Structure 1
Amino acid sequence: MADQSFVTLATNDSYVKGALVLGSSLQQYRTTRKLTALITPQVSDLMRKVLEKVFDEVILVNVLDSGDSAHLALMKRPELGITLTKLHCWELTQFSKCVFMDADTMVLSNIDELFEREELSAAPDPGWPDCFNSGVFVYRPSIETYSQLLQFATEKGSFDGADQGLLNTFFSSWATTDMSKHLPFIYNLSSTSVYSYLPAFKAFGANTKVVHFLGSTKPWNYTYDSRTKRIKGNMDDPKIVHPEFLNMWWDTYISDVLPLLEQHGIVKEITTGVNMLSGLVNTLAFSCGFCREAEVTEAVSHVSVSPLLPTESSEERKERWEQGQADYMGVDSFDNIKKKLDTYLQ
């Protein structure tokens, strides 16, 4: 179906990692639809080249920011203002129908059947089920709708300062009018919801088709232990309701995404580090004379992988700020700026 596409958005190199896992998971389950990635200027050229290996189209778009600091401050998530950039997805009029998926989602089976749904089809939000969650939704690209959404954003704003509040107000009939536009929760299951109906998860969780890593801590923020093939850290954290999904994300990252990053020299440092560690351990084993080969192998295999990304100089970062292109969802996020200020004030 050349006139239909899955669409995602990456606003920086960190979210590109999520988009790559999403695209790889869609390919793994043999989607017959196109894959399209929207990116903003914060995405580096190297990461864009990697995206082009997975996605059929990679399209550069400008940043749309709600500028609604009061509502965003209320949410304590000021970086979400930039998510209004998502509205660019309605400009993709080369497609008759699309399914938008946030870069922090991942599919667990083929979901091409979503294209049988109409605009605006979405699953309920776990925090307020009369609102839909805008991480996964079916829509029809239209310049007219795009213009109406921009005008609506200017005149009415968004009750949460981000795309979800805007879209729920614009498509206000979703909760009451046409139940066929209510996607089952298995198409947008939150892996990190504070409230989770565990008996239902045990009964229906195996049918999950899309997992959504909601919250400020994303899968790529964790460190993966290559020895145990598990996430390092405190898995008893109450925010991590279903840790098995985190491990699934990392399985896909290691098997499908990491090789692409290595091909482009983006994670060369990790490979080099492993080789250096291997050489060091073997040297120590030879010099001490009593280390068994299994012990050496064990030591080398216990390597933690935390994806590295291209870094930018302070001058490049300053230039982006001056151009209004701060990395709100990455190094320039509110939390990171606050940490820096706290360091200076101590």
Structure 2
Amino acid sequence: MAPEIVKSTLGNAAAPVVGASKNAYVTFLAGAGDYVKGVVGLVKGLRKVGAAFPLVVAILADVPVEHRRLLAEQGCILREIEPAFPCADADQNHTYVRKYFLLNYCKLRLWEFVEYERMIYMDADVQVFDNIDHLFELPSGYFYGVVDCVCEMSGDVCPQKLRWPQELGPQPPFYLNGGMFVFEPDLTTYHHLIHTLSITPPTPFAEQDFLNMFFREKMKVISPEYNLLVAMLWRHPEAVDVEKAKVVHYCVAGSKPWKFIGEEENMEREDMKMLVSMWWDIYNDASLDFNVAQRLTKGLPLSREVVVHYRSASSAA
């Protein structure tokens, strides 16, 4: 049975902002690699579409000073978090579809950001091409996301064929992608997440499997236009309308715009080249660079704050 897709009643209208922002976009960054370029592109993309809320970047301690400075200069709000991993006695080395998926469990720390009432998470390899502020007005109490397509990594013909890890219990009604979701920070939920993680074995898609398991009773599906996975262009072209895409997820190997060379499989496609070019247009647009005289939010400057450090008493690390 196809999932019921939740639609916002506000269309493309930006949500109002009164006083300090209770909403924020958020992404995650670890290490000294080139994903920092993705974060810069994302915050500039949000600025281009007139997003009414700031971008918070959850960073690990290993993000270098020069990358922190670059993000602060682009108006990002930095929040340093501790790592989060599955149960300590599990084998962390061979389980994941991609080895770096292990780090993605750190996303669970985002539920600790209770200074915000509602957040929209996006991976650093995501770009926004239309205003999505209206998603902050979705009914509360649910975990929202877009149904995933894992064909490119699993070889299966469609997401319904994905083999759900039996160790995670009953299979959820549908399977959401972990690269973009709408959620509500909450300390009770946060502690439950971290405790559950500490007794849960790792599975191939890491935090994505975990979030689908944890929120199986509270998940709601939103339209694919809010997280267009580029693999859909060739795996499920009948389900894709690129012109309507508000958010594009460059999630396939070879598709990261900042290191795109167009030689990998499917990267020679004209639609793929177009989406990469659109990303670069935003990244290279100097008019979108943060300026202390500008205001990204309505009535609230996106200030360069000192980094706030989150140190949890109970850790699954």
1:126 paired residue among 127, 136, 149: 149
Aligned counterpart, 1:139: 183
Q: Which has the higher mean CA deviation after the structures are superposed, 162-171 or 188-197?
A: 188-197
Q: Distance in 1 between matches of 2:40 and 2:287?
A: 6
C-alpha separation in 2, matches of 1:81 and 1:240: 30
Match of 1:98 among 114, 119, 122: 119
Structure 2: state its 5+ residue gaps. 1-16, 151-158, 161-173, 291-317
RMSD, aligned CA: 2.6
1:69, CA displacement in angstroms? 6.7
Q: Check conservation: 2:28, 2:107, Cα contact below 8 A.
A: yes
Change (3 A) 1:59 1:39: same
Correspondence for 1:52: 72
Aligned match for 1:190, one of 229, 237, 243: 229
Distance 1:58 1:165, change over 3 A: same
Cα distance change of structure 1 residues 196 and 25 upon mapping to structure 2, 3 Å threshold: same
Of 5, 16, 39, which aligns to 1:19?
39
Instruction: Work out which of the residue numbers 82, 85, 92 in structure 2 matches 1:62.
Output: 82
Question: How many residue pairs are counted as aligned between the two chains?
Answer: 244
Q: Please say if 1:222 is aligned against 2:259.
A: yes
Q: Is the 8 A contact 1:72 1:161 kept in 2?
A: no
Give 1:245's match in structure 2, choosing from 275, 281, 290: 275
CA contact (8 A) 1:6 1:101 kept: yes
* Residue of structure 1 in register with 2:62 after alignment: 42
Aligned to 2:312: none
Note the C-alpha offset of 1:195: 4.9
- Percentage of pairs with the same residue: 25
The one-letter amino acid of 2:185's match is: P
Q: Which moved more, 1:118-127 or 1:96-105?
A: 118-127
**CA displacement 1:6-44 (0-9 Å, x = unmatched):** 011111242211111111100110111122111112211
1:5 equivalenced with 2:35 (yes/no): no
Checking the alignment, whether the CA contact within 8 Å between 1:219 and 1:250 is kept in structure 2 is: no
1:255 Cα deviation from its structure 2 partner: 2.2
Aligned letter for 2:263?
N
The code of the aligned residue for 2:250 comes to F
Moved more, 81-90 or 246-255: 246-255
Q: Which residue of 1 aligns with 2:295?
A: none
> Residue 161 and residue 197 in structure 1: after superposition, are their counterparts in 2 closer, same or farther (change >3 A)?
closer
Residues 1:104 and 1:240: Cα distance change in structure 2 (over 3 Å): farther
Higher helix share: 1
Within 2, Cα distance between the matches of 1:22 and 1:173?
31
Q: Provide the C-alpha distance between the structure 1 equivalents of 2:224 and 2:93, rounded to a whole number of angstroms.
A: 26
Inter-partner Cα distance in structure 2 for 1:170 and 1:191 = 26
Aligned equivalent of 2:249: 212
Q: Which amino acid aligns with 2:248?
A: V
The amino acid that maps onto 1:7 is: V
| Deviation (angstroms), 1:45 | 0.6
Residue 323 (structure 1) aligns with: none
TM-score, length-normalised on structure 1? 0.64
In 2 relative to 1, CA 94–52 (structure 1 residues): closer, same or farther, beyond 3 Å? Answer: same
Which residue is equivalent to 2:311?
A: none
* Cα distance change, pair 244–82 in 1 and its aligned pair in 2 (3 A): same
Is residue 116 of structure 1 aligned with residue 155 of structure 2?
no
Aligned residue identity for 1:244: M
Confirm whether residue 83 of structure 1 aligns to residue 104 of structure 2: yes
- 1:160 matches 2:204: yes
d(CA) in 1 for partners of 2:266, 2:93: 24
- TM-score, length of structure 2 as denominator length: 0.70
Q: CA deviation at 1:253?
A: 2.0
The code of the aligned residue for 1:4 comes to N
| Alpha-carbon displacement from aligned partner over 1:278-297 (angstroms, at most 9, x marks no partner) | xxxxxxxxxxxxxxxxxxxx
